[in-house]
Every structure is written in structure tokens, then in C-alpha cells.
Amino acid sequence: DTAVSQTPKYLVTQMGNDKSIKCEQNLGHDTMYWYKQDSKKFLKIMFSYNNKELIINETVPNRFSPKSPDKAHLNLHINSLELGDSAVYFCASSQELAGQTGTQYFGPGTRLTVL
Amino acid sequence: AQSVTQPDIHITVSEGASLELRCNYSYGATPYLFWYVQSPGQGLQLLLKYFSGDTLVQGIKGFEAEFKRSQSSFNLRKPSVHWSDAAEYFCAVGLNYGGATNKLIFGTGTLLAVQP
């Protein structure tokens, strides 16, 4: 069973379109994340959710809107796609305990190409 | 500000040779440190982590890392590299947000090539 899964794996679209990426985890974790990996392979956090509540929002343009229908799912919707949005988007999850830092487990990534 | 530095962008080693990938961090408190590996076209797989205790930690695939507080380092080592170890390696420091979430600050990665 895949622990953290994402769909789709590849996404090719035109500038200006709206697209969504879905993420599901079956680890029973309370916290989920979205990271962006740019063309230079640099990884940066975008959002984190804990029990469906937004905790971290790293100055991401408001064209990006995460949604967490339940604690096992975190989707990413992107409006008005731009060329600079082309990247690999990774979902991750962790189980946090007070005073500790949980280990994040990553999904396989979604490669978004904006033409 | 917290940061992670991986000084080596690209390393090439011969199969069977030993490997050390460098990682330095900047963080005021006791760090939570991680090494992840990303094979071409794949996601990130956790190799090992350091939270506290023994400063030499063992991971999967024969990797180990040593936490040295005095040098702010967490270098990854493997005594004998296999061709399948060719991948991108990322060091990261984890910042805790009071039990609700954490945030990984990643280094820029080291691309490992293995030659026969």
C-alpha cells in the first residue's frame, strides 16, 4: 500500500488554465504538507495543515489554494497558471507530538509543466 | 535565520569506494536533522534522522550520519558505494511549530554519480 499518494503524476497545461493536484495519505498522520521543487531541484515548503487547519502558508501567491476535506487528504488548486509555476510538487505527511518534530514522508511528486 | 548548506553540488565516486556528503546547518536550538534521497524521477525517501542521543545514526541502504554540534555538521557516509546509490541527496533541518506541524528547511542537494 502506498503511504502518500498523489495524482496526477504528470500534468501538462496551458498558461491561464486552472488545475488541481490531489494527495492522500494512509499513515493516519495529522499533518500534511505541500512542497515545491523548482528546476534547480530546490525544495521549499508551501503549506502545512494540521487536522484540516492551515498552519503554515509560506507567502505563496493566492492563486494557490490548498484544501483539506479531512486529515487524510490535502489537495492543491492552482488558478491562472503561469510559466513560473512549472515545477514538481510534493505532498508529505507527518505525525507531530508536542515538543518533538515528526518525520515527514513524501509522495512521489507531480510534475507540472505550463506551456 | 535557519539554513542548511550542502557545499558539494556534484560528486562522482567509483563503485566500491567510500562516500561522504557534507551538510552544515544554522539553527539556534538542538536541531532535528534528516537526510533524504531522490532517485531520478522519484519522490523523496528518508535515509535517516537525528533527534537526540547517540550522535552516530544508522539509516537504510547502509548509510550512516554523524551529528557534530561543535561543527554544526551532519555528514552522510557510506563505506562502499553501489551503482544504485546514484541519486540526489538532500540534507534538511526540521523546525517544530509547537506540536501542530513542522517545517523542513532543505539544502540545495548533492548529486551523486557512481562510475564503474
The tens digit of pLDDT for each residue in A59-77 reads 789 999 999 999 999 999 9
Q: Sort out which chain B residues have CB atoms less than 8 A from A45's CB and list them.
A: 103-104
Strands (E), chain B: 3-5, 10-14, 19-21, 24-26, 32-38, 44-50, 56-58, 64-68, 73-78, 87-96, 102-106, 110-115
User: Closest to A104 (Cβ–Cβ): which among B100, B104, B109?
Assistant: B104
Per-residue confidence (pLDDT) for residue B86, from 0 to 100: 96
Is pLDDT above 80 for A100? no
User: Closest to B109 (Cβ–Cβ): which among A41, A90, A94?
Assistant: A41
User: Closest to A55 (Cβ–Cβ): which among B101, B106, B109?
Assistant: B101
Instruction: Give the confidence band of B53 by pLDDT, cuts at 50, 70, 90.
Output: confident
Which grid cell is A31? 499533518
Instruction: Give the confidence band of A1 by pLDDT, cuts at 50, 70, 90.
Output: low
Which of A112, A82, A111, A77 has the alpha carbon at shortest distance from A15?
A82
What residues contact residue A104 under an 8 Å CB cut-off, 6+ apart? Answer: A33, A92, A93, A94, B34, B46, B94, B102, B104
> Considering only residues 50 to 109 of chain A, which have any Cβ-Cβ distance to chain B shorter than 8 Å?
50, 53, 55-56, 90, 92, 94, 96-109
Chain B positions touching chain A (beta carbons under 8 Å):
32, 34, 36, 38, 42-46, 49, 51, 88, 90, 94-104, 106, 108-109
Per-residue confidence (pLDDT) for residue A81, from 0 to 100: 97
Q: What count of other Cβ atoms lies within 10 Å of the Cβ of residue A57?
A: 14
Q: Sort out which chain A residues have CB atoms less than 8 A from B88's CB and list them.
A: 41
Rounded CA-CA distance A10/A19 in Å is: 12
Q: Are B94 and A101 inside 8 Å of each other by CB?
A: yes
Per-residue confidence (pLDDT) for residue B95, from 0 to 100: 87
Residue of B nearest to A50 (CA): B100
Per-residue confidence (pLDDT) for residue A14, from 0 to 100: 97
Mean pLDDT of A8-30: 96
